[in-house]
Amino acid sequence: MMSAAQSQTTLEAKLGALQCHFTWDLDPSRSKLFRLRDILEDIGTEEGYSWLGHIYNLQGYIHYQLGFTEDAQCFFSRAAEAFRQMRNTVSDEGPWLVVNYGNLAWWHHQLGEQAESQTYLSKVDTLLKEYPSPSEDELHPEIYAEKAWTLMNFGRDKTQMAVDYFQRAIRMQPDMVEWHTSHVIALVNVYRHSDKPLEENILEKMRIAKEHDPDNLYLAALYLQACAKKGRKIEDDTRELAKRVLRKPVSRYSGMGPLLTLYRFYVSMDEAVDLAEEALERHPDERLLKWCAANCYKWRVYSNKDNPLEQSMIDRAISLHKEVISLYPNSSLKVKIALANIHAQSNHGHEEADQIYQELLQSDGDLEPADRQMFYNCYAKYLNFIRKESYKSIEYHMKAAAIPHQSPHYENSISILERIKERNRNRMCREIEEFLANL
């Protein structure tokens, strides 16, 4: 007969072999979890959204990691129900529940409820036997698709893996339209931080996915962005798309975000502001639209460094940013920095900008490394361009670069330090040279 210790070891081995959020090495920071929680809440739950089960599954995992144990169980239960409704099959069970049951097995195990955990492990075994993968050496396509969709939400380093998993899922089960769409979005995300236009084969995949998923306006906006980068005229198509986006329910994937980016770069900054305001007029209580509008006003303020803006424009930008901070209390560091920088553009706002930065400095020890690095990089630029304190600015670029985290902010601080060193006009050049050599 197996001892209690052996039984526990066997249970833990089975849990470790599951395919679920608890075993996918997501390893998010606490600040990332809060940001993701807000993003998922803003996706919305309008009827027919094809990733709703996956959204609830990920929300359950996030709430558990944040310590909201009961909320986690509620989301796992919602996920199971959403899958049953969305798949609309005769059976209540199917391979799409493997990840959900795996999450519940882990959830019960973490609470010390080993009998319940074992029950869900048995359910997973049953599902895997009843619905084997079409390819003997690979996971079931439903598992690949959920894993891919989840990884898409965890940054650049995991996006390429998401692309690969979507390809595997689609190869085995090619008739799932939403998988093709999300696969293309993941491909585009790999290139997001590059100025290079998309390769023609990816653009063609986008065009085909758009034809098969004509109601996906998020993809439509990304496609127009890709066309614009290729030098094509897209102003008229962008304005037509805006009419369609305005009629849709508000959601993180309604297309409003990439649409406003299109307006910003390829149509008109003023029209972007007008579009955001029109969307807010239609849905005045939607926090996501307030975030979108705040972003538009930020771009508008930042783009007028040489021409004085009307104070009413700056005031509107400030009030929207303050609202967004109150609506996203756990994930608004970037918004606070933007608010400080907007104050700095005002003739009378330097004191408020200084105050915000000083408050952030007092709590920078509470920030996780990636957030602290981003803050130091932004503060260094503020010190240089607004406060005209170049030596202090260099110190904060060094602080940002000293944090061992690869990011655009890290690269930017390194680049600035290297340029200062190459010009050789600053009394800190020797110090910068030693610092860079020791990185």
Q: Measure the CA dihedral 192/194/195/200, to 10°.
A: -70
**Rg of the Cα atoms in the chain:** 24
136-158 pLDDT per residue, tens: 899 999 999 999 999 999 988 89
No. of helices (H) and no. of strands (E), the chain = 22, 0
CA gap 149, 180 in Å, rounded: 11
108-130: string of b/e by CB count within 10 Å (b at 16+)?
Answer: bbeeeeeeebbebbebbeebbee
27-52: string of b/e by CB count within 10 Å (b at 16+)?
Answer: ebeebbbbbbbbbbebbbeeeebbbb
Beta-carbon contacts of 434 under 8 Å, excluding residues fewer than 6 positions away, are none
Of 245, 292, 254, which is closest to residue 273 (Cα–Cα)? 292
Model confidence at 182: pLDDT above 90: yes
Model confidence at 47: pLDDT above 60: no
Spatial contact of 341 and 350, defined as CB atoms under 8 Å apart: no
How many C-beta atoms lie closer than 10 Å to residue 190's C-beta? 15
Spatial contact of 213 and 48, defined as CB atoms under 8 Å apart: no
Task: Give strand ranges (E) for 212-342.
Answer: none
pLDDT (0 to 100) of residue 335: 98
The mean pLDDT value of the chain amounts to 93
* CA distance readout (Å), 104 to 18, 57, 107: 11, 10, 5
Tell me the average pLDDT across 158-185: 96
Tell me the average pLDDT across 25-35: 94
Spatial contact of 171 and 145, defined as CB atoms under 8 Å apart: no
* CA distance readout (Å), 290 to 217, 302, 340: 20, 18, 18
Of 232, 126, 226, 129, which is closest to residue 184 (Cα–Cα)? 226
Beta-carbon contacts of 249 under 8 Å, excluding residues fewer than 6 positions away, are 44, 46
CA gap 225, 265 in Å, rounded: 9
CA gap 424, 411 in Å, rounded: 20
CA gap 124, 426 in Å, rounded: 64
Model confidence at 1: pLDDT above 60: no
Model confidence at 8: pLDDT above 60: yes
pLDDT (0 to 100) of residue 90: 60
pLDDT (0 to 100) of residue 347: 74
Tell me the average pLDDT across 159-182: 96
Confidence of residue 4 (pLDDT cuts 50, 70, 90): low
pLDDT (0 to 100) of residue 240: 98
Place of tokens 């305001």: 277
CA gap 235, 158 in Å, rounded: 33
Tell me the average pLDDT across 71-97: 89
CA gap 328, 334 in Å, rounded: 11
Confidence of residue 2 (pLDDT cuts 50, 70, 90): low
Say which range, 13-22, 39-48, 225-234, has the weakest mean pLDDT: 39-48
Burial class, 70, CB count within 10 angstroms (exposed 0-12 / middle 13-18 / buried 19+):
exposed
Of 7, 35, 39, 12, which is closest to residue 23 (Cα–Cα)? 12
Q: Give the predicted TM-score (pTM) of the model.
A: 0.93
391-434 pLDDT per residue, tens: 999 999 999 999 999 999 999 999 999 999 999 988 999 999 99
pLDDT (0 to 100) of residue 136: 87
How far is CA 66 from its chain centroid? 17
333-390 pLDDT per residue, tens: 999 999 999 999 887 778 999 999 999 999 999 999 999 999 999 999 999 999 999 9
CA gap 257, 222 in Å, rounded: 10
**108, containing H or E segment:** helix 98-110
Spatial contact of 20 and 106, defined as CB atoms under 8 Å apart: yes
pLDDT (0 to 100) of residue 194: 66
Does 346 or 321 have the greater pLDDT score? 321
Type of residue found at 160: Q
**115, containing H or E segment:** helix 114-130
Model confidence at 3: pLDDT above 70: no
101-133 pLDDT per residue, tens: 999 999 999 999 999 999 999 999 999 999 999
Q: What are 256's two structure tokens? A: 């409003």
Query: Helix 311-327 and helix 287-302: axis angle, to 10°?
Result: 140
Q: Measure the CA dihedral 118/119/120/126, to 10°.
A: 110
pLDDT (0 to 100) of residue 6: 59
Spatial contact of 400 and 410, defined as CB atoms under 8 Å apart: yes
